[in-house]
Amino acid sequence: MPEFEVELDRVATGGAALGPGPDGRVVFVSGALPGERVIASVVADHATRIEARVLDVLDPSPGRQGPPCRHVGDGCGGCDWQHATAELQRDLRRSIVIDCLTRLARIREPDVRLGPALDPERYRTTVRVALRDGRPGYRAGRSHAIVPVESCVVAHPLIEELLVDGRFGSAAEVSLRVGARTGERVVVARPTAEGVAMPGDVIVVGDDELRRGREVHYHEEIAEHRLRISAQSFFQCRPDGAEALVALVGEAIADAPGLLVDAYCGVGLFGAILAGRSPEPRPMTGIEANPAAAADAANNYHASATISRRKMERWSPSPAGAVIADPARVGLGKVVAAKLAQTDAAVIALVSCDPASLARDAMLLASHGYDLDHVTVVDLFGHTSHVETVSRFVRRGWA
């Protein structure tokens, strides 16, 4: 069964379209869209499912488009949804969230909303590329092979300039970062920055230098706040997306006064803006394990805020009015969900970057008395199947 015809009826987490295979097993077809009839080629054959890729589209979806980036045809795996219009991408992300919440968390008719539409192109302010013969590139889909690129439709212009004009010396991998609203740029080269040449305004640092303690940072402006971001700190990939997340989190916790807990606070994006907006800064504590990010948060928070520099699993909770949590892709997990519930906060605003982990966390929080109020899907990563959400959970019985 190397090739077969299949009709796709829905989309799965990870971006592939699903449909019934010729032998009854479910088929995951990358490059296909729900509602299409395609000829697919087997990529991996498992006991309960088949993974395949599109060879030919027989009946295309109304939402299908030609990829705007020519490197998709070269095999670049950076953007897996360039064949779908921006409008369809938004609908597909929402359908993935609804599917995970109903199928995994057993939530009937969850309230899943669409956030503001964000431009799917020229937005990424952080890009990591591998080097092949000194040329930057992205990994091919389902492969470690490097596809050299001379342009990138999702990279911010200040990043793309470095892809085109930069010289990368003996580096094996580089991270390119920019403050879109400040113009400040940083390049982190791995394992060293030896031979790396960039425009004069760019700070170039080797991973080996950072490990020896060199401090490098840049700034970004979000909602009229200037935030410091260290080279080793995570930050959202676009300023308009960060503002959308902050606005949604702010709406979620607006009716829950008192101490604000900023869990997995990173550089302090949420706490710095939301706790500092009132005439009197809101009492707040942030928890962050990464030393560089915790130092950034201490710099970005208002002066009376506190920082707990430890893993969430080792944090000792105290009573709070509201909690913001922005965990890694794996989600909160049992231990952290229990700790957040021990704050007895009226509201928990959960920022999730994986719909399946959101569903698992929804079940965990429900077991501790927190019901899902609603979820908003944010288009943080245009042209990709990556899904970002902000969810509001309310303590049962609180009014």
* C-alpha torsion 67→115→236→74, nearest 10: -10
Helices 355-367 and 86-103 pack at an angle, to 10 degrees, of 40
d(CA 354, CA 18): 19
The region that residue 138 occupies, defined by phi over 0 for left and psi between -120 and 50 for alpha, beta otherwise, is beta
Token representation of residue 297: 């948060």
Active site residues: 353
- The answer to whether 101 and 359 have CB atoms below 8 angstroms apart is yes
Best CA proximity match to 164, nearest among 175, 152, 153, 174: 152
d(CA 376, CA 51): 30
Residue type, 336: V
User: Edge-to-edge strands of the sheet including 185-190?
Assistant: 146-148, 135-139, 126-132, 173-178, 185-190, 202-206
